[in-house]
């Protein structure tokens, strides 16, 4: 390999060897796309976390220690940049600190530090201790950020020592792999990326739209068994191939193109629901550094809700909503506004993927004891409309085994669409709200446009549930 093996490239090799090979051998044939909004947001978050780490008492230089941020260690073959390097001036020994905007230490963090330690050793340095800095998930912001409470610093020296030999071996494997000629094979897909791999996309340009990768909850050994026998399209799966009952039903619907509807069971569920019917959706923001009072690192803080309500059979649909601009102490204001919007009674509250909305309700109940009874009642009366589809009461071949509202809506209510919205998915909503609410470099016109787009997007989420409900009711 002509170039040094960088830490980033090494970690890419561990994740997806084929993409790693492409980056070194044919980068022009499969260029990475433009920097996404998500990638830019994560990069900015990482920078913000590092600025707070620099304020920690242990990283203030003294007569005994030198502190370097983003120090590079390299040899002719490898190169690694370390987030924080603390050097004992008397002995020259080094303490490494890797900063991760994460809630806990993960295996990939240990791979990261192990590669750094190899680079330090090969360049003549001596590691004394190695650490990973993560966010303290129990810290609750009260007033100004307390940097000493914001972080957890985990000593991983022993764990790194256990994987150094493996890391050295993997470095050798990476050099050997980049000089090899990998054969394109779907059978060797990456578990993490599956078909969303640049190497796969480059060599397999005519894959069917609906493949065995779409079979819900199919285990990797089962999928590889199908691929090894040449079965790629879901319609090619043999009838006698062992699958779960739900998976077999999905395959059969794909083959026959027949819609499966359990009208009797759907009717039973309708009979259990009570008016008024509420259709609720939250938009939330999670960040490593808590931006508002009472929030923990990575807590999903509600900044917006949309609520469509049908008060009684035959009543007109009404809509209420609230969108924080960041200057009113979310999520308290969101919680209070929602309670007022439901003052006419809580019959049944429909959501899509109840674990998320119920989790937010429980968090707000814990944060605001005076509102706990309200949010507990909301959770008690919540029904996940997605269950109609995840419980296989309504199966359509165009769902392709998925039950997200973005998959169900175009089939059930094609007259509604997210395609023309200024904001069309949740991650963009989160990031753009954060920028509009906190950045002082944004123009007023741009800020207003983002807030308008957010209102339109969140309203469509609940209106989509209403329309899907109406289609089901018509059955």
Tell me the C-alpha distance between 265 and 391, whole Å.
10
- pLDDT, one tens digit per residue, over 73-88 is 999 999 999 999 999 9
DSSP class of residue 212 equals G
Name 132's bridge partners: 98, 154
**In this structure, are 279 and 231 located in the same domain?**
no
- What average pLDDT does the segment 230-251 reach? 95
For residues 170-183, average pLDDT: 94
Which range of 1-5, 9-13, 200-204 scores highest in mean pLDDT? It is 9-13
Helix (H, G, I), strand (E, B) or coil at 86: strand
**Claim to verify: residue 252 and residue 350 sit in the same structural domain:** no
Transcribe 2-53 into DSSP letters. -S-EEHHHHHHHHH-HHHHHHHHH-TTTS---PPPHHHHHHHHHHHHHHHHH
Structure-token pair, residue 228 = 């090894």
- 3-class DSSP state of 392: coil
pLDDT band per the 50, 70, 90 thresholds, residue 34: confident
Does 109 score more than 70 pLDDT? yes
| 33: pLDDT strictly greater than 60 | yes
Q: What angle, 0 to 180 degrees and rounded to 10, lies between the N-to-C axes of helices 107-122 and 157-178?
A: 80
* Tokens 């309203």 sit on residue: 459
Q: Which of 123, 152, 178 is the last residue of a domain?
A: 178
The pLDDT assigned to 2 comes to 62
Tally of domains in the chain: 3
Instruction: Give the pLDDT confidence score for residue 448 in this predicted structure.
Output: 95
Q: Which residues of 321-355 are buried (b: 16+ CB within 10 A; e: fewer)?
A: bbbbebeeebbbebbbbbbebbeeebbbbbbbebe
**Structural domain of 269:** 265-473
The pLDDT tens digits for 285-305 are 999 999 998 999 999 999 999
| Contact call for residues 192 and 15 (beta carbons, < 8 A) | yes
d(Cα 267, Cα 259) in Å, to the nearest integer?
Answer: 17
Cβ contact 375:363 at 8 Å: no
User: Contact 429/458 with Cβ under 8 angstroms?
Assistant: yes
Per residue in 357-411, pLDDT tens?
999 999 999 999 999 999 999 999 999 999 999 999 999 999 999 999 999 999 9
Q: Would you say how long the chain is, in residues? A: 475
Q: Supply the mean pLDDT for the chain.
A: 94
Quick one: what percent of the chain has pLDDT higher than 70? Answer: 99
**pLDDT band, residue 30 (cuts 50/70/90):** low
CATH of the domain at 86: 3.90.320
Give pLDDT, residue 1: 54
At 297, which CATH number? 3.30.420.10
Q: Is the distance from CB of 215 to CB of 243 less than 8 angstroms?
A: yes
Q: Among the three residues 178, 203, 221, which one is the final residue of a domain in this structure?
A: 178
DSSP 8-class letter at 194: T
Structure token digits, residue 308: 């469509």
334 and 284 fall within a common domain: yes
Look-up of token digits 């008397």: 90
Pairing label, strands 94-99, 127-135: parallel
Say how far apart CA 451 and CA 467 lie, in whole Å: 24
Same domain, yes or no, for 296 and 387?
yes
Q: What is the mean pLDDT of residues 194-221?
A: 91
What integer is the mean pLDDT of 413-422?
A: 93
What's the average model confidence in pLDDT over 225-229?
92
Residue 396, sorted as left (phi over 0), alpha (psi -120 to 50) or beta, turns out to be: beta
Q: Where are the beta strands (DSSP E) in 111-150?
A: 127-135
Do residue 204 and residue 327 come from a single domain?
A: no
For the cut 80, the answer to whether the pLDDT of residue 324 exceeds it is yes
Same domain, 46 and 97: yes
- Tokens read off for 45: 């978050």
Phi and psi dihedrals of 452, rounded to 5?
A: -65, -40
My answer on whether 281 and 245 are in the same domain is no
Same domain? For 38 and 147 the reply is yes
Task: Reply yes or no on whether the pLDDT at 49 is more than 70.
Answer: yes
Last residue of a domain, one of 259, 276, 306: 259
Question: 3-class DSSP state for residue 351?
Answer: strand
Question: What is the pLDDT averaged over residues 33-48?
Answer: 88
Q: Which residues neighbour 380 within 8 Å (Cβ) at sequence distance 6 or greater?
A: none
Let me know: does 210 contact 233? Beta carbons within 8 Å: yes
Contact 384, 354 (CB under 8 A): yes
Instruction: Tell me: pLDDT of 314 over 80.
Output: yes
Measured distance CA(369)–CA(99) in Å, rounded = 35
Give the pLDDT band of residue 190 (cuts 50, 70, 90). confident
Whether 312 and 202 share a structural domain: no
Looking at the fold, whether 58 and 163 belong to one and the same domain comes out as yes
**Are residues 205 and 154 both part of a single domain?**
no
Q: Are residues 223 and 286 in the same domain?
A: no
């Amino acid at each position: 390999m002509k170039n040094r093996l960088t830490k980033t490239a090494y970690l890419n090799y561990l994740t997806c060897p084929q993409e790693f090979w492409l980056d070194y051998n044919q980068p022009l044939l499969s260029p990475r796309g433009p920097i996404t909004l998500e990638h830019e947001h994560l990069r900015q978050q990482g920078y913000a976390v590092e600025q707070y780490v620099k304020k920690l008492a242990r990283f203030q230089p003294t007569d005994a220690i030198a502190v370097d941020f983003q120090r590079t260690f390299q040899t002719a073959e490898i190169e690694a940049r370390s987030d924080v390097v603390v050097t004992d001036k008397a002995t020259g020994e080094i303490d490494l600190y890797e900063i991760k905007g994460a809630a806990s230490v993960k295996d990939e963090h240990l791979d990261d530090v192990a590669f750094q330690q190899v680079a330090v050793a090969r360049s003549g340095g001596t590691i004394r201790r190695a650490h990973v800095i993560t966010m303290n998930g129990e810290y609750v912001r009260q007033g100004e950020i307390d940097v000493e409470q914001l972080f957890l610093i985990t000593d991983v020296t022993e764990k790194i020592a256990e994987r150094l030999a493996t890391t050295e071996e993997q470095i050798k494997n990476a050099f050997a792999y980049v000089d090899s000629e990998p054969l394109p094979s779907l059978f060797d897909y990456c578990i993490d990326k599956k078909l969303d791999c640049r190497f796969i996309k480059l060599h397999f340009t005519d894959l069917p739209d609906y493949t065995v990768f779409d079979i819900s909850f199919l285990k990797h050994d089962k999928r590889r068994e199908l691929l090894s026998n040449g079965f790629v399209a879901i319609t090619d799966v043999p009838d006698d191939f062992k699958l779960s009952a739900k998976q077999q039903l999905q395959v059969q619907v794909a083959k026959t193109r027949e819609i499966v509807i359990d009208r009797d069971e759907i009717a039973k569920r309708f009979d259990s629901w009570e008016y008024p019917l509420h259709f609720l959706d939250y938009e939330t923001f999670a960040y490593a550094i808590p931006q508002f009072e009472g929030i923990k690192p990575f807590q999903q803080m509600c900044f917006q809700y949309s609520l469509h309500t049908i008060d009684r059979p035959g009543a007109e649909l009404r809509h209420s909503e609230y969108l924080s601009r960041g200057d009113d102490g979310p999520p308290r204001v969101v919680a209070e506004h929602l309670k007022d919007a439901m003052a006419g009674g809580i019959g049944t509250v429909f959501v899509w993927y109840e674990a998320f909305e119920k989790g937010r309700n429980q968090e707000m109940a814990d944060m605001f004891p005076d509102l706990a009874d309200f949010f507990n009642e909301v959770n008690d009366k919540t029904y996940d409309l997605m269950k109609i589809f995840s419980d296989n009461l309504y199966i359509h071949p165009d769902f392709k085994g998925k039950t997200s509202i973005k998959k169900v809506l175009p089939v059930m209510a094609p007259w509604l669409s997210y395609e023309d919205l200024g904001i069309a998915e949740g991650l963009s909503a989160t990031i753009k709200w954060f920028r509009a609410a906190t950045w002082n470099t944004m123009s007023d016109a741009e800020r207003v446009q983002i807030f308008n787009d957010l209102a339109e997007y969140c309203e469509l989420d609940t209106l989509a549930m209403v329309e899907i409900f109406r289609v089901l009711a018509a059955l």
